[in-house]
Amino acid sequence: MHDPSLSHLTGQDPELAGLVEAEARRQHDKIRLIASENYVSAAVLEATGSVLTNKYSEGYAGRRYYEGQQNIDPIETLAIERAKALFGAEHANVQPYSGSPANLAVYLAFAEPGDPVMGLSLPMGGHLTHGWSVSATGKWFTPVRYEVRADTGRIDMDQVRDLARKERPKVIWCGGTAIPRTIDFAAFAEIAREVGAVLAADIAHIAGLIAGGAHPSPVGHADVITTTTHKTLRGPRGAMILSTAEHAAAVDKAVFPGLQGGPHNHTTAGIAVALREAARPDFTDYAHLVVANAKALAEALLERGYDLISGGTDNHLILIDLTGKGVPGKPAAQALDRAGIELNHNAVPFDPRKPFDPSGLRLGTAAITTRGVTPDRMPRIAEWIDDIVRATARGEDQAEKEERRVAAEIRELLAGYPMPGWAPVP
């Protein structure tokens, strides 16, 4: 049963409703370990499914290009004020459609086409939009890429400093999609200041941990901060840009009219709801439990002989190099999905394999923590992962039986951990 209800959809479009129902059941029955995913609250679902989707409001509160903003202005202002208060930022823009457009707005605000821009290389844990070659950001700017150290799996800050001094990037990105360790925002800020670069912290993955005090904040170090709202922050799909007062006008102008038209007001409302949830004390508990779960899972995987990039985790995310297990990331991820454990194959630093068929797996604990799963369950989850990886390495026939067994055991476990937004009809 959906909460909020899908009664109209079920009546009018059974084909689509059936697919939504199947997706809800899938999300309910699986251990969702995709590091960028979560479960939003029913309140966030209600806000994003509201009549706010009907309204156009190009511009900013008090300066719109369409009439009828009596309610939209206070909604967007509420989201902005909550974002500023939660993160302690001087300025917030809540209009970017998602993380990638938010990052593009940063380029538009602070760089010219062809300028050198610096970010963590994609296979080392960076994001496409930090100047990877297939991205517009890698084509329109001159990317400079730093890496992690081979011996520690951690960002090579000496290389960051050397490259920054040599290449003089206009923008330096810190943050990424597969970084299991704490980001040293102060060290990045010192380097950016020295070379006159704008420091952009992309906290898409860790925003919820920062809000909950489980990861240091870039506020006070970074000139501009971008984040998605739908990962650990547990809001609707969307993004925000936080900045110092100094850069407020440049950021706003880049988002609108620089890059976008009308903001998605239903999303803005969902962001406002999520930010209020993230300001509550129970969200602080949640953020710390996300990290405790990741550490417990990492520990249990290490005990089973898994090779973790950087040897563990400080946040919600674990990166496994499967090379020693005799199975690449993709077949392992596919087998685990059939067995009820959803994660993604991922490149590992210095991966000898191709990006679409890499050596690693990426895991995160944001979603299962929302379900209420606690660290004492992590050894069992590591055991299931290990059972499937080993069965996959052994060969097809064995694997199928193991996958069915594990999937059934997982469904049974998760029946005790309700998900927001949907429950099976008893």
Residues designated as active site: 56, 58, 202, 228, 231, 237
Compute the distance between CA of residue 167 and CA of residue 339 in angstroms, rounded to an integer: 47
For ligand PLP, which residue of 32, 82, 127, 377 counts as binding (CB under 6 A)?
A: 127
Q: By CB under 6 A, what part of segment 211-240 binds ligand PLP? A: 228
Phi first, then psi, for residue 131 (nearest 5°) are 100, 20
Nearest to 286 by CA among 347, 231, 213: 213
Nearest to 254 by CA among 92, 65, 106, 62: 106
For ligand PLP, which residue of 98, 182, 260, 284 counts as binding (CB under 6 A)?
A: 98
351 near ligand PLP (CB under 6 A): no
Cβ closer to ligand PLP: 175 or 375? 175
Nearest to 359 by CA among 349, 367, 374: 349
Q: Give min distance, CB of 35 to ligand PLP, in A.
A: 8
Nearest to 317 by CA among 301, 303, 335: 301
Element (H, E) at 2: none
201 near ligand PLP (CB under 6 A): no
- Contacting range for ligand PLP; rule: CB under 6 A; set: 63-71, 75-83, 199-207, 372-380: 199-207
- Contacting range for ligand PLP; rule: CB under 6 A; set: 80-88, 169-177, 190-198, 275-283: 169-177
Cβ closer to ligand PLP: 227 or 392? 227
- Contacting range for ligand PLP; rule: CB under 6 A; set: 26-34, 170-178, 191-199, 372-380: 170-178
Residue 257 tokens, joined: 């009219």
- Contacting range for ligand PLP; rule: CB under 6 A; set: 49-57, 159-167, 174-182, 332-340: 174-182
Pairing of strands 116-120, 307-308: unpaired
Residues contacting 378, CB < 8 A, separation 6+: 293, 296, 297, 299, 300
Q: Give min distance, CB of 256 to ligand PLP, in A.
A: 17
Compute the distance between CA of residue 344 and CA of residue 291 in angstroms, rounded to an integer: 19
177 near ligand PLP (CB under 6 A): yes
Q: Give min distance, CB of 11 to ligand PLP, in A.
A: 32
Cβ closer to ligand PLP: 99 or 208? 99
Q: Give min distance, CB of 261 to ligand PLP, in A.
A: 17
3-state DSSP assignment of residue 119: strand
Residue 255 identity (one-letter amino acid): V
CB atoms within 10 A of CB 6: 18
Residue 320 identity (one-letter amino acid): I
Q: Print the binding letters for residues 8-37 with ligand PLP: x by CB under 6 A, - otherwise.
A: ----------------------------x-
3-state DSSP assignment of residue 59: strand
Give ∠ CA 189-193-199 in degrees, rounded to 5.
50
For ligand PLP, which residue of 99, 235, 340, 358 counts as binding (CB under 6 A)?
A: 99
Q: Give min distance, CB of 325 to ligand PLP, in A.
A: 26
95 near ligand PLP (CB under 6 A): no
Total binding residues toward ligand PLP, as defined by CB under 6 A: 14
**Quick check: 123 and 355 in contact, CB under 8 A?**
yes
Compute the distance between CA of residue 210 and CA of residue 39 in angstroms, rounded to an integer: 18
Cβ closer to ligand PLP: 176 or 329? 176
205 near ligand PLP (CB under 6 A): yes
Q: Give min distance, CB of 122 to ligand PLP, in A.
A: 10
Residue with tokens 């903001």: 263
Nearest to 4 by CA among 18, 19, 24: 24
Q: Which residues bind ligand PLP (CB under 6 A)?
A: 36, 98-100, 103, 127, 129, 175-177, 202, 204-205, 228
